[in-house]
Amino acid sequence: MTLLLGPPSSGKTTLLLALAGKLDPALQFSGSVTYNGHTMKEFVPQRTAAYISQHDLHLGEITVRETLAFSARCQGVGTRYDMLAELSRREKEANIKPDPDIDVFMKAVATEGLEASVITDYILKILGLDVCADTMVGNEMLRGISGGQRKRVTTGEMLVGPARALFMDEISTGLDSSTTFQIVNSLRQTVHILNGTAVISLLQPAPETYDLFDDIILLSDGVIVYQGPREHVVSFFESMGFRCPERKGVADFLQEVTSKKDQMQYWVRKDQPYRFITANEFAEAFQSFHVGMKLGDELGTPFDKTKSHPASLTTQKYGVGKWELLKACIAREFLLMKRNSFVYIFKCMQLTVMALITMTLFFRTEMHKDSVQGGRIYMGALFFGMTMIMFNGMSELSMTISKLPVFYKQRDLLFFPSWAYALPSWILKIPITFLEVSIWVFITYYVIGFDPSAERFFRQYLILVLTNQMASGLFRSIAAIGRNMIVANTFGSFALLVLFALGGFVLSREDIKGWWIWGYWISPMMYGQNALMANEFLGHQWSRVLPGSNVSLGVEVLNSRSFFPDSYWYWIGVGGLIGFVLLFNFVFTVALSYLAPFEKNKAVISDEPESDDQVNGAGVGGSIQLTNQESSSSHVNRSEIQDDIQRSTSSMSFSMSDATVGANGKGKKGMVLPFEPHSITFDDIVYSVDMPQEMKEQGVPEDRLVLLKGVSGAFRPGVLTALMGVSGAGKTTLMDVLAGRKTGGYIDGNITVSGFPKKQETFARVSGYCEQNDIHSPHVTVYESLLYSAWLRLSSEVDAQTRKMFIEEVMELVELKPLRHALVGIPGVNGLSTEQRKRLTIAVELVANPSIIFMDEPTSGLDARAAAIVMRTVRNTVDTGRTVVCTIHQPSIDIFEAFDELFLMKRGGQEIYVGPLGHHSRHLIKYFEGIQGVSKIKDGYNPATWMLEVTSTAQELSLGVDFAEIYKKSDLYRRNKALIEDLSKPAPGAKELYFATQYSQSFLTQCTACLWKQHWSYWRNPPYTAVRFLFTTVIALMFGTVFWDLGSKTKRIQDLSNAMGSMYAAVLFLGIQNASSVQPVVAVERTVFYRERAAGMYSAMPYAIAQVLIEIPYIFVQASVYGLIVYAMIGFEWTVAKFFWYLFFMFFTLLYFTFYGMMAVAVTPNHYIAAIVSAAFYGVWNLFSGFIIPRPSMPIWWRWYYWICPVSWTLYGLVASQFGDITHMLEDGNNETVEQYLRNFYDFRHDYLGLVAAVIVSFAVLFGAIFTVSIKMFNFQRR
- pLDDT at residue 603 is higher than 50: no
pLDDT band at residue 671, thresholds of 50, 70 and 90? Answer: low
Q: Determine the pLDDT at residue 82.
A: 67
Cα 773 from Cα 198, distance rounded (Å): 31
Cα 195 from Cα 1121, distance rounded (Å): 68
Q: What is the percent of the chain with per-residue pLDDT over 90, rounded to a whole number?
A: 37
- pLDDT at residue 626 is higher than 60: no
Q: Which residues lie below 8 Å from residue 510, measured CB to CB, with a gap of 6+?
A: 562
The phi, psi pair for 767, rounded to 5°, reads -120, 155
* More confident call, 1074 vs 489: 1074
Q: Determine the pLDDT at residue 591.
A: 95
| DSSP state for residue 797 in the 8-state scheme | T
Q: Within 10 Å of residue 248's Cβ, how many Cβ atoms?
A: 18
- Bridge partners, 136 (sequence order): 63
Highest mean pLDDT among 53-62, 184-193, 456-465: 456-465
Q: Are 827 and 861 in contact (CB under 8 A)?
A: no
Q: What are the strands of the beta sheet with 215-220, ordered from one edge?
A: 49-52, 165-169, 197-201, 2-5, 215-220, 223-229
pLDDT band at residue 600, thresholds of 50, 70 and 90? Answer: low
Q: In which region does residue 74 sit, left (phi positive, over 0), alpha (psi from -120 to 50) or beta (all else)?
A: alpha
Cα 378 from Cα 2, distance rounded (Å): 74
| DSSP characters over 535-570 | HHHTSGGG-PBPTT-SSBHHHHHHHHTT----TTHH
pLDDT band at residue 114, thresholds of 50, 70 and 90? Answer: low
Lowest mean pLDDT among 609-618, 890-899, 1079-1088: 609-618
pLDDT tens readout for residues 224-270 = 999 999 999 999 999 888 988 877 888 888 888 887 777 888 888 88
pLDDT tens readout for residues 773-784 = 788 888 999 999
Please state the rounded mean pLDDT for residues 328-337. Answer: 94
Cα 826 from Cα 832, distance rounded (Å): 8
Please state the rounded mean pLDDT for residues 469-492. Answer: 88
> Three-state secondary structure along 902-919?
EEEEECCCEEEEEEECCH
Cα 1255 from Cα 1258, distance rounded (Å): 5
Please state the rounded mean pLDDT for residues 866-872. Answer: 81
Q: Determine the pLDDT at residue 627.
A: 38
Give SS3 for 144: coil
- pLDDT at residue 78 is higher than 70: no
Please state the rounded mean pLDDT for residues 1019-1028. Answer: 87
Cα 756 from Cα 652, distance rounded (Å): 13
- Bridge partners, 715 (sequence order): 680
Q: Determine the pLDDT at residue 720.
A: 94
The residue extents of the domains of the chain are: 326-594, 717-743+758-965, 1003-1273
Q: Within 10 Å of residue 210's Cβ, how many Cβ atoms?
A: 20
- pLDDT at residue 634 is higher than 80: no
Q: Which residues lie below 8 Å from residue 1122, measured CB to CB, with a gap of 6+?
A: 1032, 1033, 1035, 1036, 1066, 1070, 1146
- pLDDT at residue 1236 is higher than 70: yes
Q: Determine the pLDDT at residue 949.
A: 83
pLDDT tens readout for residues 381-425 = 999 999 999 888 887 888 898 899 999 989 988 899 999 999 999
- pLDDT at residue 938 is higher than 80: yes
| DSSP state for residue 243 in the 8-state scheme | -
Q: Within 10 Å of residue 1113's Cβ, how many Cβ atoms?
A: 11
Q: Within 10 Å of residue 801's Cβ, how many Cβ atoms?
A: 8
Please state the rounded mean pLDDT for residues 533-537. Answer: 94
- Bridge partners, 2 (sequence order): 199, 215
- pLDDT at residue 861 is higher than 80: no
Residue 373 corresponds to which amino acid? Q
- pLDDT at residue 651 is higher than 50: no
Q: Determine the pLDDT at residue 110.
A: 67
- pLDDT at residue 597 is higher than 90: no
272 exposed, middle or buried (CB, 10 Å; 0-12, 13-18, 19+)? exposed
Query: Between vectors from CA 167 to CA 166 and to CA 169, what angle results, nearest 5°?
Result: 140
Lowest mean pLDDT among 111-115, 179-183, 685-689, 1168-1172: 111-115
Q: Are 504 and 530 in contact (CB under 8 A)?
A: yes
Give whole-number Cα distances, 601 to 412, 616, 867, in Å: 18, 35, 21
- pLDDT at residue 648 is higher than 60: no
Q: Determine the pLDDT at residue 1125.
A: 94
pLDDT tens readout for residues 692-729 = 777 777 777 788 888 899 999 999 999 999 999 887 78
Pairing mode, strands 746-753 and 680-690: antiparallel
Q: Determine the pLDDT at residue 164.
A: 78
pLDDT band at residue 159, thresholds of 50, 70 and 90? Answer: confident
| CA nearest to 267, candidates 229, 289, 241 | 241
- pLDDT at residue 628 is higher than 80: no
* More confident call, 112 vs 690: 690
pLDDT band at residue 653, thresholds of 50, 70 and 90? Answer: very low
Give SS3 for 277: coil
- pLDDT at residue 537 is higher than 90: yes
| CA nearest to 966, candidates 958, 956, 979 | 956
| DSSP state for residue 592 in the 8-state scheme | H
pLDDT band at residue 731, thresholds of 50, 70 and 90? Answer: confident
Cα 1199 from Cα 1192, distance rounded (Å): 9
- pLDDT at residue 10 is higher than 90: no
pLDDT tens readout for residues 460-478 = 999 999 999 999 999 999 9
* More confident call, 804 vs 501: 804
683 exposed, middle or buried (CB, 10 Å; 0-12, 13-18, 19+)? middle
Q: Which residues lie below 8 Å from residue 1134, measured CB to CB, with a gap of 6+?
A: none
- Bridge partners, 242 (sequence order): 267
- Bridge partners, 682 (sequence order): 713, 751
Q: Determine the pLDDT at residue 343.
A: 84
Cα 1219 from Cα 1141, distance rounded (Å): 12
Q: Are 198 and 191 in contact (CB under 8 A)?
A: yes
Which CATH number is correct for 717-743+758-965, 3.30.1330.10, 3.40.50.300, 3.40.50.2000, 3.40.190.10?
A: 3.40.50.300
Long-range contacts made by residues 445-449, C-beta under 8 angstroms, separation at least 24? 447/359, 447/360, 447/363, 447/364, 448/358, 448/359, 448/362, 448/363, 448/364, 448/367, 448/378, 448/381, 449/362, 449/364, 449/367, 449/369
| CA nearest to 845, candidates 1015, 675, 682 | 675
Q: Determine the pLDDT at residue 112.
A: 62
Q: Determine the pLDDT at residue 619.
A: 35
Q: Determine the pLDDT at residue 38.
A: 83
Q: Determine the pLDDT at residue 640.
A: 41
Q: Determine the pLDDT at residue 924.
A: 92
* More confident call, 389 vs 548: 389
Q: What is the percent of the chain with per-residue pLDDT over 70, rounded to a whole number?
A: 91
Residue 790 corresponds to which amino acid? A
Q: Are 120 and 160 in contact (CB under 8 A)?
A: yes
- pLDDT at residue 1032 is higher than 50: yes
Q: Determine the pLDDT at residue 1214.
A: 94
Q: Are 135 and 67 in contact (CB under 8 A)?
A: no
| DSSP characters over 365-417 | GG--SSSHHHHHHHHHHHHHHHHHHHHGGGHHHHHHHHHHHHHHHHHHTTSS-
End-to-end, the C-alpha distance of the chain in Å comes to 42
Element (H, E) at 713: strand 704-715
Q: Determine the pLDDT at residue 980.
A: 93
Residue 1062 corresponds to which amino acid? S
Q: Determine the pLDDT at residue 1151.
A: 97
Please state the rounded mean pLDDT for residues 637-653. Answer: 39
Cα 587 from Cα 590, distance rounded (Å): 5
Cα 516 from Cα 519, distance rounded (Å): 5
Q: Determine the pLDDT at residue 611.
A: 38
- Bridge partners, 1253 (sequence order): none
Residue 296 corresponds to which amino acid? G
What are the b/e assignments for 985-1004, b being 16+ CB within 10 Å? eeeeeeeebeeeeebbbeee
Please state the rounded mean pLDDT for residues 1216-1240. Answer: 87
Q: Determine the pLDDT at residue 715.
A: 94
Average pLDDT, the chain: 85
Cα 711 from Cα 689, distance rounded (Å): 16
